[in-house]
C-alpha cells in the first residue's frame, strides 16, 4: 500500500479487552458487518487487516458474548495402545491415548481408522462421537469408553457397541480413500449440565482476566479438544496434514465450526444440520431461539449469551461471521428441508453473507457450499456422499 510522504499508516485498532454489557449494546436488525471494526472507525480492506486485527477481534467477540474463552493450546503427548488390521474392511483401526498439557486426568482416547491400501497420504475426517468409539462398530476388540455414557446412548458402554454405525459408514468412507479420527465427546466434556465441570474443564482454566461468566462452555471445550486432535493428526499419524476436515452433526457441528473458526488447524469443515449456535443466523426468524437453546442446554455456551434471549438483534456478532472466520478454507454446510428447528434457510443466508471474506482473501467463493437434502434431522449414510463430494478431495 502507498502512503503519501509525511503521512503515517493508521494504527490498527487495539485488541478488545473491554466488552459492553448486553444492555448497553445497540439494536441492529441488519447483520453485523464483516469488515467494520467493533470499537473504532477502521474497516478491514486487505488480507493483512483481516488477519492482523479483524479476525482476532471477531474471535474475541464470539468468545466473550457466545461460547466462552478457551485456554491457550497445550502440548499433546500420545501413546498407541492397540492396532487391528481389517477390523473395518480395508482399514487399520488404531487406538491412541492423547494426554493434554501433561495432566494425567486430561486424556482423550482417539480411534484412527486408516485405509490399508492408499496411494499417498489419505485425507482425514476428524470428529467427535456421541457415545464412545465402541459405538461406531460392533467388534468387541474396540476399547470401551470409560467416560460418561449419556442416557441417550444406553445404560452402559458395552450396550452401545455398534449402535452409531449408520451415522459413521466407515467401510464406505475408507473405500472413498479417507481416514477417520474420532473420540468420545465425554472425554473432553460430558454433554450434561450437572457433570459439565468435569474432565478438561477441571484441568485447564480460561485465559487470565476472563470474567467467569465468559469462560468456556461445552461447545468451546469440544472445539478446543478437536483442535488438539486435529493438530496431532497433522503431525503424528502419517495422514495428509493439508487435507484434514472437521466434521460434526448438529451440536457437534456447532463445535466443529467453532474449532476451526478460532484456530487454523483444519483445512475444511463439514457442519451438518448445525442450527442455532452453528451455521444458522441468530437474526433469522425460524428455528430454535437463543432463549430456548440456553434453557434446554445451559452448559453449551457461556453465561453472557443467554442475555440475548428475545434480543437477537443486539448480538454484536452473528453466525455469518463465524463462517467468515474459516476464510479462505472450505466450508461444507448440509441441511434437510424438514429440519426446520435447525433453520436451513438461516444457514444458507449466513453462507451467502460470509462470502465477501473469501473475496477479500483472494479465494473463490465456491469454497463455501450449502446443500439441502430431503428429509429430517439425522445423519444418513447417503449424507456422507454429499460431504465427501463437496470436499472435492
Give which of 231, 251, 29 is closest to 129, Cα–Cα.
251
The burial of 355, by beta-carbon neighbours within 10 Å (0-12 exposed, 13-18 middle, 19 or more buried), is given as buried
| Least distance from ligand GCU to the Cβ atom of residue 21, Å | 26
Q: For ligand GCU, which is the closer residue by CB, 55 or 184?
A: 184
Positive/negative CA dihedral, 365, 366, 368, 373: positive
Listed in sequence order, the residues at least 6 apart from 347 whose beta carbon sits closer than 8 Å to its beta carbon are: 274, 275, 278, 279, 280, 281, 319, 333, 335, 370
Question: Please, which residues bridge with residue 97 across strands?
Answer: 79, 109
Which position among 276, 282, 315, 355 is part of the footprint of ligand GCU (CB under 6 A)?
A: 276
- CB count, 10 Å around CB of 67? 30
The residue number whose beta carbon is nearest to ligand GCU equals 250
Give which of 216, 258, 232 is closest to 71, Cα–Cα.
216
| Least distance from ligand GCU to the Cβ atom of residue 276, Å | 5
Q: For ligand GCU, which is the closer residue by CB, 19 or 348?
A: 348
Size of the site for ligand GCU (CB under 6 A): 8
| Least distance from ligand GCU to the Cβ atom of residue 62, Å | 17
Which position among 251, 272, 320, 330 is part of the footprint of ligand GCU (CB under 6 A)?
A: 251
| Least distance from ligand GCU to the Cβ atom of residue 142, Å | 24
Give which of 256, 305, 288, 283 is closest to 349, Cα–Cα.
283
The interface mask with ligand GCU, positions 330-349, x = CB under 6 A, is -----------x--------
Site for ligand GCU in 284-323 (CB under 6 A): 288, 293, 296
Q: For ligand GCU, which is the closer residue by CB, 92 or 340?
A: 340
Q: For ligand GCU, which is the closer residue by CB, 49 or 185?
A: 185
Listed in sequence order, the residues at least 6 apart from 243 whose beta carbon sits closer than 8 Å to its beta carbon are: 123, 124, 267, 268, 391, 393
Q: For ligand GCU, which is the closer residue by CB, 196 or 341?
A: 341
Contact 61, 146 (CB under 8 A): no
Contact 175, 89 (CB under 8 A): no
Q: Does 250 bind ligand GCU (CB under 6 A)?
A: yes
Question: Please, which residues bridge with residue 184 across strands?
Answer: 129
| Least distance from ligand GCU to the Cβ atom of residue 251, Å | 3
| Least distance from ligand GCU to the Cβ atom of residue 220, Å | 15
| Least distance from ligand GCU to the Cβ atom of residue 379, Å | 10
Q: For ligand GCU, which is the closer residue by CB, 133 or 276?
A: 276
| Least distance from ligand GCU to the Cβ atom of residue 128, Å | 11
The H or E element that residue 357 is part of is: helix 356-360
Residue 370, helix vs strand vs coil:
strand
Which position among 275, 316, 344, 346 is part of the footprint of ligand GCU (CB under 6 A)?
A: 275
Name the residues that contact ligand GCU, by CB under 6 A. Answer: 250-251, 275-276, 288, 293, 296, 341
Amino acid at each position: 500500500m502507498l502512503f503519501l510522504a509525511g503521512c503515517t499508516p493508521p494504527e490498527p485498532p487495539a485488541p478488545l479487552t473491554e466488552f459492553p454489557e448486553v444492555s448497553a449494546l445497540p439494536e441492529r436488525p441488519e447483520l453485523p458487518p464483516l469488515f467494520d471494526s467493533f470499537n473504532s472507525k477502521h474497516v478491514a480492506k486487505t488480507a493483512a487487516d483481516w488477519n492482523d486485527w479483524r479476525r482476532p477481534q471477531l474471535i474475541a467477540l464470539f468468545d466473550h458474548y457466545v461460547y466462552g474463552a478457551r485456554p491457550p493450546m497445550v502440548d499433546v503427548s500420545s501413546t498407541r495402545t492397540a492396532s487391528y488390521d481389517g477390523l473395518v474392511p480395508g482399514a487399520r483401526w488404531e487406538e491412541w491415548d492423547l494426554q493434554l498439557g501433561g495432566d494425567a486426568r486430561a486424556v482423550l482416547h482417539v480411534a484412527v481408522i486408516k485405509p490399508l491400501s492408499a496411494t499417498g497420504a489419505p485425507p482425514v475426517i476428524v470428529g467427535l462421537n456421541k457415545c464412545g468409539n465402541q459405538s461406531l462398530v460392533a467388534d468387541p476388540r474396540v476399547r470401551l469408553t470409560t467416560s460418561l455414557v449419556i442416557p441417550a446412548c444406553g445404560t452402559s458402554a458395552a450396550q452401545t457397541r455398534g449402535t452409531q454405525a449408520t451415522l459413521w459408514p466407515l467401510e464406505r468412507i475408507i473405500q472413498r480413500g479417507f481416514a477417520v479420527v474420532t473420540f468420545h465427546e465425554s472425554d473432553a466434556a460430558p454433554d450434561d449440565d450437572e457433570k459439565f465441570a468435569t474432565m478438561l474443564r477441571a484441568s485447564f482454566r480460561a485465559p487470565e482476566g476472563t470474567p467467569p461468566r465468559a469462560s468456556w462452555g461445552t461447545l468451546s471445550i469440544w472445539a478446543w479438544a478437536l483442535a488438539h486432535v486435529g493438530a496431532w493428526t497433522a503431525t503424528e499419524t502419517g495422514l495428509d496434514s493439508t487435507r484434514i476436515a472437521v466434521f460434526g452433526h448438529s451440536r457437534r457441528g456447532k463445535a466443529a465450526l467453532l474449532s476451526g473458526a478460532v484456530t487454523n488447524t483444519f483445512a475444511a469443515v463439514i457442519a451438518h444440520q448445525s442450527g442455532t449456535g452453528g451455521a444458522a443466523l441468530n437474526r433469522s426468524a425460524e428455528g430454535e431461539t437463543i432463549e430456548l437453546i440456553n434453557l434446554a442446554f445451559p452448559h453449551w455456551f457461556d453465561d453472557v449469551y443467554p442475555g440475548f434471549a428475545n434480543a437477537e438483534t443486539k448480538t454484536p456478532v452473528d453466525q455469518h461471521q463465524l463462517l467468515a472466520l474459516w476464510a479462505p478454507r472450505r466450508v461444507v454446510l448440509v441441511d434437510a428441508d424438514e429440519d426446520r428447528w435447525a433453520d436451513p434457510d438461516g444457514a444458507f443466508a449466513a453462507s451467502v453473507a460470509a462470502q465477501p471474506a473469501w473475496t477479500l482473501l483472494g479465494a473463490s467463493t465456491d469454497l463455501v457450499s450449502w446443500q439441502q437434502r430431503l428429509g429430517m434431522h439425522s445423519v444418513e449414510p447417503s449424507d456422507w456422499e454429499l460431504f465427501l463430494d463437496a470436499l472435492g478431495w
